[in-house]
Every structure is written in C-alpha cells, then in structure tokens.
Amino acid sequence: MRSQRVEAVQVAINAIIAVTTAALLYLPRPVVVRAGRDGWMAVGLATLLGMALAWCWWALFFRPERAPGEQASGTRPGWGDRLLAAGLAGYATYLAAVLVAQVATVFATVLPEMPVAVFAAGTALTGWVLAAYGLEAVYRSGQALFPLMVGASVLNLAVVLAGNVDVRELTPLLETGLGPVMAALPVALAFAGEAVVVLAAAGRVRDPGRLRRALPLAVALSGLLLVAYTAAAVAVLGATEVARSTFPVLSLIRQVRASLFLLRLEILTLFAWLTGAFVHLGLLLTAAGTAASRALSVRSRWHGVVTAVPAAGAGWLGVVAFESGPMLLDHVERIFPAVSMTGMAFLLVGGWLSLKGRRSSRPRPPTPRTGSPRLDGREETGSAASAKAGPSRLEVRGAAPGSRRAAALGMLALSAGLFLGGCYGRIEPEQAAVVTVLGLDRTRSDRLLLTVEIVGAPTTGPMEQPGSIAHRLLHAEGQSLLDAQRRLELAAGREMLWSHVNVVLVGRDLARSRLEPVLDTLSRRYTFRRNAFLFVTDGPAGRFLHRLQPAFGAPRFVAFQRMMLRPSARLGPPIDLNSFLRTVGHGGEDPAVPVVDLAASTPSEPMVRRVALFRGMRLVAMADEPATRGLYWLTGQQEVDRLVWPCPGDPPGRGFGATAVRSSSRRSARWTPEGPAASVRVRVEADVEEWRCTEPLTTAALPRAEAAAERAVRRDVAALIDLARRQGVDPAGFGLELHRRDPAAWRTVASRWRRRVASLPVSVQVDVHLRRTGLTMGAP
C-alpha cells in the first residue's frame, strides 16, 4: 500500500464538504426556532468562531505535522496519545451515526415505502467503500466532485429566489436583542465544528503551511453558503414556516416559480447534498479508522477491517438510536451541540497538551525526514519509502493536463446523468395518472369532497387519436383530505402521482370554515408541492371544474396556465400555497386569494376579477372588482389592464380609455400621539388608447385628465379600505409595516390590531402619469 499523501487544497475542499453537507438541510430550523428571523446572524457568528477554531486545528496538528495520537518514528505512543486518538475515533463515529440518520430520515420521507434500515445500510456501506481505499482516495473524490456540487446547489438556489424572495421577511433586525442569537449560537457552532474531520490528514499534507489561511477560508466559504441558505429559507418560506418545517431547505429548493415547467430542479441540490454526504461519511470513517489504529497500534494493512467497525456502528446507531424523525430533530437541537462542544474541547485540550509535551521533550537529531508516514503512526525510510512515495512534484505537474482532462470528462458525464432520469421510474406511463388540478369542497354533512383532474396516456384502444392526452375528472368524499385521497386512489385504477398538482381550488363553503386541516396536509406531505397556485371559487370547486371546458379538448390545467400567462385575464398576480402560509405566519397582514370565475361569454377560459379576503385562515368577504383593483393599487401589484377613466369636466357617462402599463406603491405606518396611522403613495403609468372627451387631447388637457384618473384610482382604494375596516382585516399589510418600522409600538397593539384596523386613518396619495398617446394626438 503506497503512502497516503494529500494536497492542502484537497484538505480545504473537503472541509467545506464536511461543514455544508452536515448542516445544509437541517441547520435553518434549530437556529430559527431560537433566534427567529435573525437565525442567519447566529450562523454568521458561528462561522467567525469556526474560522478561529480551524486556525487552532492548524496550529495544534497541521503545523507540527502530527495527527491526533500520532508520534514520531521509533517512539511508542503514550497513554495520553492513545486517549487522544480514541477520542477522535469516538467523536468521528458519533458524527458518522448522525449523518447516516440524516440521510436515512430524508429519503425515508421522500420514499416512505422503503425501509429506513435499507437507506442506513446503503449509506454506511458507501462511506466504508470510500474509506477502505484510503485517505488519499477519499480526499481526491471530494476534490473531483466539489465543482459539480457547488454549481448544482448555487444554480438551484438562484432559480428558487427568482420570483419568491421577500427580503422584508428578514426585518426588523434584532427585534428582541442579541439574546436569541446567542442562544442559537451553540447549535450553529456545532455544525461549523464538523471541519474537525480533516485532522486525520495532519502529517500527510505535502505543504501544511498553506493551510494556515486555506483552512479558515474554507470554513468561511461554507459558512457563507449556510448563511445564504438560512436567510433564503426565511425570505422565501417565512420564519414561522421554517420553524415548523422538518427539513426547511428541502421545502425551499422545491419552491421553484421561475417558470411553469421548471418544477423538478430540487434534484440539483439533492444530488449535491447526497454526493457530499457520501464523501463526508468517507472522511468520518477514515478519521475514525486511522485514529482507532493509532490507539490500538494496528498496522496499516488492517485499515479496511478497522474502518468497517465504525461503519457498522454508525449504520446500526443511525437506525436504532434515531428510529423516528422527531427523535433525530430533538437530538440535533438539544444533545448534538453539547456532544460537539465536548468533543471539540477534548481535542483542543488534548492537542495543546500533546504539543506542549513534544516541545518540552528532548529534540530529535536534525536528520532530514525522508520517510513517508504510515497509517499506524510510524514512518518508512530508505528505498522502501522512496519506492512507495509516489510521483515527484515535477512528475505530478507533467501529468496534470491529462488528469484535468479526465476530471473534466468525468464531471461532464456526471452532470449529463442529471438530465437522463425521469421524475418517477417504477411506474410505466400507461399505468400512471398525473393529478394536475385539485378541487376541495365541504359537503353538507361536514365531510370533504375531493375533485381532481387526472392526465395520462389514453386507454381507449388503438382507435385513439395519435398524440392525444386522456384527461378526466374524478371525485371522492372522505372525513379528511387524506381519507378522500385514499378513496380516490382505490377508484382510479391507476397509480396516482400527486406531485404534479399546480392548481388548488378551494370552494367558498370550505374557505369559510377555516383551512388549517387542509393546508396542514398539503404542506406536510412530500407528494404535494407548496408552489401550487391557490384560488377560491364562488361556489363549489368541483362544480366549477365540471363547468370549465377548455378549447380544443385541452386539459383544465392548460387553461389555468394560459390565464396566468395572460395579464389581461387577471387584475393581479396569482399566489401559491407558500405565499398564503407565509402571510398568515408573520402577523400584521391578512391573505387575499384570487377568486376564479368563468368568462361570461364562454366556459372555456377562467379569469380573475375579484379577491377573497381572509382573516387568518378563514374567508370573511369577497371584494368586488373596484375594491379588488384598489387592493392591487395599494400593493403595487396591478397588472397591465385597460381602464376607462372619467373625462375632466364631462358627465359621468363619458370617459377616455387608457392602458395601465405599470404601477407601484409605497406603504408606511407610524405611531402618532393618537395611535397608529398609515399612509400610502400610489404611482401609475398609463397610455391613452382612446379619447371620447369633449375637450380635445392637448398638452393642456393632459394634467386635468391625470387629475380625473387620480380621483378614480383613489375611489378604488377607498372601496378596499372601507371593506377591510368593516371586516377587521388588513390585506394591505399596514400592521406589518408598523412592525418593521417600530417593533416596540407594534408589540403594544399586536393583540388588538384587528380592532385598530376598523378605525385606522389611512392617507392616500395617487400620482397618475399619462406617458403616451399612441400614434395620434387628435381625432380624424
């Protein structure tokens, strides 16, 4: 077995892999539970402490070129060194067991029909195979896969942020001071301390001096990535939903809204995380095996056998000690930080005592160190060491171009594999029924009626038109959504795939009776997606789906996609389940859900001209079209729309046509001696499309036309504010603005805000700018 030598850059890269894979899916939850929206600050502070800790690892182990428990040639390890090596072996085995439990829990959630023991055994076996090849093989594997892992995760994060992020969720900063951030610091630091796994490579680095800066920099880079994911989870999901989630990043990466067809990009982050988890497990088992060999004075040829012991222990503990997901989450939040702090403190003190003992002992003769270290802590000298030392630096440089080409081709092949697999591989298309639209209603007997549209391959025989898609409606009743879903699957005769649902319709009666049980099921189960669009129907949702008959026999979800792509079919943007849950969670704002109706002339196209106002989870009112437009003026979400505004000085029956091309608003709330007060400034840009006014269209008439348009917009806003006051709801989010501007004032009125809304003074300023008049100024 030739010597195990690694480069400094390989150590730094694998330190990044160790820290990020351990914390990526789990870290946002425990820090947000303790620190709220400021959890990302705790991760940032832990990163700074982790950098200092990484420098200590370099000073205690990498600079003297001695791994924990390793001694110089010809020196037998003392009991202190054996204890230090045994401590590293035990700590690495514990971290390996937690990592195996993480992988098994995540994939048991995604694929519940697979036994947890299978995931745990497969993960432990993969890590052991990597570790059995030796330290150099593990570190080279991490170096080769690292660019693909970083590219996949960063791309997935960038796509998720597009159209989803709301940076206001991160404010106000430090609302309750530094106390919660400091309370979340131990668990964040415990994950940052995962870089301890690279101590197994101390004494085997060709240029350890480079790690003085490279190792703290590696911890900093991994910390920045974790800060970005934690902040993104809060900004996209909301602090309340992050604290409620078991795997917040798993929910985050599935929240793709950049396009209607980019719905499966979470495979990128899952690939990066799982690949990194295998490499990380290989690093942990390598550290445990080499440390155990030093503690027991086992020769290097037994490295694979020794490594199999912690691998088997990690796989067994990953199933037995963490037999349920809640047990693992509780362990990560309460016990894992204490164990990690104890393990890192033990290694710090032991390393310092070992270094102090070596310095106080008699110095060795100044003979050049020509041997290469072995896994059992001894050195090989002479011709045997020269033969096993591997290629020289010049030879390595000469072989570098070929190695780089091979690595590039390997990464290209791996990246191409990401696009070859289907989203569901064990069911043939002819046997599957894809659910695209979900309709939910409450029956008179207080049961839930589930109506779905399924889309699949045609089954009517060879006379079916080539290329056609079979689609039909199915419905079933149940005591709950899960019960109705079970009954529907029994009646369908096919395997139903629920992860393709992109439209959820809620009937009016169900919306009036609170949505908590339904939304709990939709957000809890992995088979449903939080980025499905949410609509309310003015009547039963099932009846609406039966009445909707898209043109050319297209599936119903195609009609909804056309509506969402055509701004003329709706007054404002659609919202998804995630936006609804995020709005309910942060307080000071009530959700407003679009009401979907059928066009008056034809039942082939849905349209949105109204909104449903909610008080928390309960529907309280449906706004008419003027009030709906007023809400979108207030929030700056008014889509491109053709309007008729009154002519200046003419009777109400006359007006001029304009197209509102864009709008924006600036809302604010403040505390006054009389109590809270709100103000809003609306800015609208429009083009004149027709002129039916008595006064000719001139530059002198434009200001008066703008003033008339401003009065019309102000009436729409007033209609919405009056409706919100009567119902005691705040769809414009004035309470949220007060919370962010003056947290102390908000705490005094938060419990009675709904009563305050009924008399909240709102100052409205509207600016309408008529920018263009088309190709002409006057009538022919």
What pLDDT is recorded for position 345? 94
What pLDDT is recorded for position 423? 52
Peptide bond into 172 cis (omega under 30): yes
Return d(Cα 3, Cα 393) in angstroms, integer: 15
What pLDDT is recorded for position 385? 41
DSSP states of 294-331: HHHT--GGGHHHHHHHHHHHHHHHHHHTT-SHHHHHHI
Residue predicted with more confidence, 709 or 271: 709
* Mean pLDDT in residue range 449-477: 71
* Mean pLDDT in residue range 428-445: 86
Which of these, 558, 464, 544, lies nearest to 505 by C-alpha position? 544
To which residue do tokens 């700018």 refer?
A: 769
Report which residue type is found at 774. G
What pLDDT is recorded for position 476? 93
Residue 270 has pLDDT above 60, yes or no: yes
Query: What is the per-residue pLDDT across 12-36, written as a single tens digit (0 to 9) for each?
Result: 999 999 999 999 988 999 999 999 9
* Mean pLDDT in residue range 536-543: 95
Q: 146-155, 261-270, 416-425, 596-605 — which one is most confidently predicted on average?
A: 146-155
- Yes or no: say if 84 and 69 are a contact pair by the CB < 8 Å rule: yes
What pLDDT is recorded for position 380? 43
Q: How confident is the model at residue 753 (pLDDT cuts 50, 70, 90)?
A: very high
Count CB neighbours of 113 within 10 A.
6
Domains of the chain: 8-390 (1.20.1740.10), 429-623 (no CATH), 624-780 (3.30.300.210)
To which residue do tokens 């950049």 refer?
A: 258
Pairing of strands 495-497, 503-507: unpaired
What are the Cα distances from residue 259, in Å, to 264, 286, 518? 11, 43, 26
Q: 192-196, 393-397, 552-556 — which one is most confidently predicted on average?
A: 192-196
- Yes or no: say if 478 and 487 are a contact pair by the CB < 8 Å rule: yes
What are the Cα distances from residue 338, in Å, to 23, 185, 345, 348, 726? 16, 12, 11, 15, 53
Residue 413 has pLDDT above 80, yes or no: no
pTM: 0.86
Return d(Cα 598, Cα 604) in angstroms, integer: 8
Return d(Cα 251, Cα 231) in angstroms, integer: 14
Q: How confident is the model at residue 72 (pLDDT cuts 50, 70, 90)?
A: low
Count CB neighbours of 285 within 10 A.
31
Kindly state the tokens that stand for 600.
């008056």
Query: What is the per-residue pLDDT across 354-372, written as a single tens digit (0 to 9) for each?
Result: 888 776 654 544 444 444 4
Which of these, 35, 314, 302, lies nearest to 185 by C-alpha position? 35
What pLDDT is recorded for position 57? 94
Pairing of strands 606-615, 470-478: unpaired
What pLDDT is recorded for position 494? 77
What pLDDT is recorded for position 119? 86
What pLDDT is recorded for position 514? 82
Return d(Cα 671, Cα 115) in angstroms, integer: 57
Kindly state the tokens that stand for 232.
């993104």
Return d(Cα 469, Cα 453) in angstroms, integer: 12
Using left for φ > 0, alpha for ψ between -120 and 50, and beta otherwise, residue 677 falls in beta
Residue predicted with more confidence, 196 or 4: 196
Q: How confident is the model at residue 259 (pLDDT cuts 50, 70, 90)?
A: low
Count CB neighbours of 490 within 10 A.
9
To which residue do tokens 């979470």 refer?
A: 266
What pLDDT is recorded for position 710? 95
- DSSP secondary structure code for residue 570 in this structure: B
Q: How confident is the model at residue 5 (pLDDT cuts 50, 70, 90)?
A: confident
What pLDDT is recorded for position 490? 86
What pLDDT is recorded for position 528? 87
- Yes or no: say if 143 and 10 are a contact pair by the CB < 8 Å rule: yes
Which of these, 346, 332, 316, 352, lies nearest to 93 by C-alpha position? 316
What pLDDT is recorded for position 382? 38
What pLDDT is recorded for position 315? 92
CA angle 505, 508, 509 (to 5 degrees): 120
Query: What is the per-residue pLDDT across 33-66, written as a single tens digit (0 to 9) for each?
Result: 999 999 999 999 999 999 999 999 999 999 988 8
Pairing of strands 592-598, 533-537: parallel
Residue 467 has pLDDT above 60, yes or no: no
To which residue do tokens 């396009």 refer?
A: 259
SS3 470: strand
Query: What is the per-residue pLDDT across 564-616, written as a single tens digit (0 to 9) for each?
Result: 888 778 888 899 999 999 999 888 899 999 999 987 777 788 999 999 999 98
What pLDDT is recorded for position 471? 82
Residue 397 has pLDDT above 60, yes or no: no
Provide the H-helix boundaries in 133-210: 135-161, 179-192
Backbone φ and ψ for 612, nearest 5 degrees, come out as -105, 125
Which of these, 608, 590, 589, lies nearest to 598 by C-alpha position? 608
Residue predicted with more confidence, 81 or 300: 81
Which of these, 85, 93, 178, 176, lies nearest to 128 by C-alpha position? 93
Sheet holding 655-672, edge to edge: 641-646, 655-672, 675-691, 762-772
* Mean pLDDT in residue range 104-113: 84
- Yes or no: say if 458 and 430 are a contact pair by the CB < 8 Å rule: no
Residue 410 has pLDDT above 80, yes or no: no
Mean predicted lDDT score pLDDT of the chain: 85
What pLDDT is recorded for position 455? 85
Count CB neighbours of 110 within 10 A.
15
- DSSP secondary structure code for residue 91 in this structure: H
* Mean pLDDT in residue range 420-447: 77
* Mean pLDDT in residue range 265-279: 86
The distance from CA 427 to its chain's CA centroid, rounded to whole angstroms, is 28
Q: How confident is the model at residue 384 (pLDDT cuts 50, 70, 90)?
A: very low
Residue predicted with more confidence, 79 or 84: 84
What pLDDT is recorded for position 323? 79
Residue 488 has pLDDT above 80, yes or no: yes
Query: What is the per-residue pLDDT across 627-676, written as a single tens digit (0 to 9) for each?
Result: 999 999 999 988 888 899 999 887 777 889 999 998 999 999 999 998 99
Residue 390 has pLDDT above 50, yes or no: no
- DSSP secondary structure code for residue 206 in this structure: S
Percent of the chain scoring above 70 in pLDDT: 87
